[in-house]
Amino acid sequence: MGTLNTRDKKREEQKAIEQRISTLDGEMKATEELIKNIEKEEQDNHPSVQRHLSKYGTLPAKTPHYREKMKLADEVKAIQEEIATLKRRLSEINRGL
């Protein structure tokens, strides 16, 4: 009986993790789409503001939306890290079943 409860708890945790991964994946796609829209708007409305070369290599130009883009890119990285952590946990659960 104890084994069934443990297995049921693991399956519930597995479903919760899968749901969280799905939610995070949707958030990440929406954020990436937002970044694409910002980049398109920059190209359309700020054509003179493009990447430029310096002695340090290619540098991104700072447009009016530069900070917002960087914030969104950081958000995407954080989501990717959380998804990776959840997938590792899911793998551990699957090995335990």
Listed in order, strand segments (DSSP E) in 1-97 are: 52-54, 57-59
Residue-range definition of the domain harbouring residue 83: 2-96
Per-position pLDDT tens, the chain of length 97: 566 788 889 999 999 999 999 999 999 999 999 999 998 887 787 655 555 555 666 555 666 788 898 999 999 999 999 999 999 999 999 888 7
Contact 13, 92 (CB under 8 A): no
CATH number at residue 60: 1.10.287
Number of domains composing the chain: 1
